Amino acid sequence: MAGVTTHPATTAARVLIQALAVLGVQDVVLAPGSRSAPLAYALADAALPDDARPAGSPALSVHVRIDERSAGFLALGLARAHALGEVPRPVAIVTTSGTAVANLHPAVLEAHHAGVPLLVLSADRPHELRGTGANQTTEQVGIFAGATRLVLDVPAPTGLAHEARDLRAVAVRAVAAAVGARTGDPGPVHLNLCYRDPLVPGDEPWPAPSGDGLAHVERRPAPAAVAAPDPDRPLIRAGRAAATPTVVVAGDGAGPAARRTAEANGWPLLAEPSSGARAGANAIAAYRLLLSADALGGQVRRVVVFGRPTLSRPVQALLTRDDVEVIVVAASGASWVDAGRRADQVLLEVPPRMRTGRLGSSVGWLESWQAADEAASRAIDALLDPPQRGMRTRAGARVTGPVLARAVAAASSADDVLVVGASNPVRDLDLLARWDVAPTVLANRGLAGIDGTVSTAVGVALGLPHRRVRALVGDLTFLHDVGGLLRGPLERGADLQIVVANDDGGSIFATLEPGEVARADVFERFFGTPHGADLAALCAGYGVRHTRVGDVDGLLPALAAPGTGLSVVEVRVDRTSRRALNEAIAAAVTASLPT
């Protein structure tokens, strides 16, 4: 077109953004940079209102963050929110070159292990500048080695006629790999996009949308559509009766099939909070303490495993026992859960006999677990509640980690979403949460790290604007990602309440071997790691509403009325007594069991 300045990088970026939108991408997170400017300008157009967006530009929700690590976990949280819908949608994260890309590694690793569809769009120098000492240039291809479903190194565009078609084909492959359309194994994808100057648009219009190169990719059948195992094939070890004492273990992401299987067969359900299965009469809240009882855990001879159990050492010990048959139900993914290397069978889906309850349960098996769980619950409540412990401040009953988790669980309704941090918060919730109808509970259990939890929760809240979203985290988890509170004044805010259990350090280590009394000389500095941070001042610096409570009387109103926008409820808890409290809870539960 005469008189129009056309820049290949601009055109290529626009074509890619068009294609991703057609393929289902709705949210893009952008961290600012120079080499990624072609993508930034394309996204700036896509973020405009309908009456201002230029012809040819798709409509996208764009979220800008200055810290790539926080931006990566924000994208992860948005993708987790989308995964709750019928059709999983990948979320794209755009960075410039150099260390910006490396800062995405924690989020990419979490997405890899948790099976979350994430599209990393990293800008890069053109190939001729690699290895020359050019500014902000490193080897970005393969930087996430082993953690991606697909890596494509896309050459810098030059304006050739076929480039638009090729980019659309690249987008098709990237989205298909991210959502696991062909493999059933969703996860992160890395597109390394090379651009040459000029990096800013000229006066060229957007290219007309086109389907050239947008192949239709047939999706792999859902697990329920996969042919079931032969109903005549033995599902139990030789010599085992159908009524073998069985429990269902539901780890992170197990889904409702775990609960249905337990209820159909009358089996106890040992479900982690983020399993998506922890509710109903079969769910045993205090399971990790009851597994040590000879009459309960000691009698288990078969375990059916769903999801990825990571919270409990007693569960891991159960799965490694020689006298226990392990059946793993892994509907998708290249790997399956078998840390003890003792799985007898790995199935794509629940077999018919198990779905219909034909394996059955021995008389009184479930009832014995339920009775023990009720007794354990009474014993724990008696220990935690103030009249029995005499733990009161002038204002009211002091809050411990378990008391806080119990209160948050009780305040979370079926329509709520609860994002739970690693370490003690998720384990306290695992012990104390009792739901007839559970809220949606999400946790970064892919690698079970504290990285990016605040940003993940913000992403979940942005992706689910019509649901009440709350996060429960420890103080180290909060401080590790305090930058996740940062939101520019031009960015859309989230309605999110972050409840922080602040015990001035890492109390999880007090419950492990480093917390033993004999190791006290090393513990405080190297494991307890007190920080003395002023969370109120931090929140003020970020312009975030902060409330500090130290007793139950102040906690309950804060949970009942979180308000709008982003807010932090800081709950001061005691770390020094954490190990003793855990031991007292275990002893109380043991004493509650019939002899």
Q: Are residues 399 and 256 in the same domain?
A: no
Confidence of residue 396 (pLDDT cuts 50, 70, 90): low
DSSP code string of 42-66: HHHHHTS-TTTSPTTPPP-EEEE-S
Q: Indicate the DSSP class of residue 509.
A: G
pLDDT at 387 (0 to 100)? 59
Lookup: tokens for 448: 């079970």
Residues 6+ apart with CB under 8 A from 579: 510, 511, 515
In a domain, 103, yes or no: yes
- Using the predicted structure, report yes or no on whether residue 360 has a pLDDT greater than 80: no
What confidence tens digit (pLDDT) does each residue in 470-509 have?
Answer: 999 999 999 999 999 999 999 999 999 999 999 999 988 8
Q: Are residues 416 and 555 in the same domain?
A: yes
Lookup: tokens for 203: 């006066």
Q: Are residues 481 and 343 in the same domain?
A: no
CA distance 463 to 457: 10
Is 57 exposed, middle or buried, given 0-12, 13-18 or 19+ CB atoms closer than 10 A? buried
Say what percent of the chain tops pLDDT 90: 81
Q: Are residues 340 and 467 in the same domain?
A: no
| Contacts by 350-353, CB closer than 8 A, 24 or more apart | 350/257, 350/260, 350/261, 351/228, 351/229, 351/231, 351/235, 352/228, 352/231, 353/231, 353/235
CATH number at residue 392: 3.40.50.970
The region, left, alpha or beta by phi > 0 then psi within -120 to 50, assigned to residue 590 is alpha
What are the phi and psi torsion angles at 270 (to 5°)? -100, 90
In a domain, 216, yes or no: no
- Using the predicted structure, report yes or no on whether residue 226 has a pLDDT greater than 50: no
CA separation (Å) from 521 to 108, 271, 413, 505, 530?
Answer: 37, 37, 44, 16, 15
User: Domain ends where: 307, 339, 368?
Assistant: 368
What are the phi and psi torsion angles at 545 (to 5°)? -65, 135
Q: Which of 5-9, 175-179, 246-250, 450-454 comes out lowest in average pLDDT?
A: 5-9
Average pLDDT, the chain: 92
Q: How many domains does the chain have?
A: 3
- Using the predicted structure, report yes or no on whether residue 545 has a pLDDT greater than 50: yes
Q: Are residues 288 and 412 in the same domain?
A: no
- Using the predicted structure, report yes or no on whether residue 33 has a pLDDT greater than 90: yes
Confidence of residue 364 (pLDDT cuts 50, 70, 90): very high
Q: Are residues 132 and 244 in the same domain?
A: no
Q: Are residues 433 and 362 in the same domain?
A: no
- Using the predicted structure, report yes or no on whether residue 395 has a pLDDT greater than 50: no
Please count the helices (runs of H) and the strands (runs of E) in the chain: 20, 17
Q: Indicate the DSSP class of residue 126.
A: -
CA distance 421 to 429: 10
For the whole model, what pTM was predicted? 0.93
- Using the predicted structure, report yes or no on whether residue 529 has a pLDDT greater than 60: yes
Q: Are residues 179 and 56 in the same domain?
A: yes
CATH number at residue 295: 3.40.50.1220
Half-sphere exposure of 398 (CA within 13 A, CB side): 16
C-beta of residue 15 within 8 angstroms of C-beta of residue 2: no
CA-closest candidate to residue 444, choices 179, 187, 80: 80
The region, left, alpha or beta by phi > 0 then psi within -120 to 50, assigned to residue 339 is alpha
In a domain, 1, yes or no: no
Domain that holds residue 249: 240-368
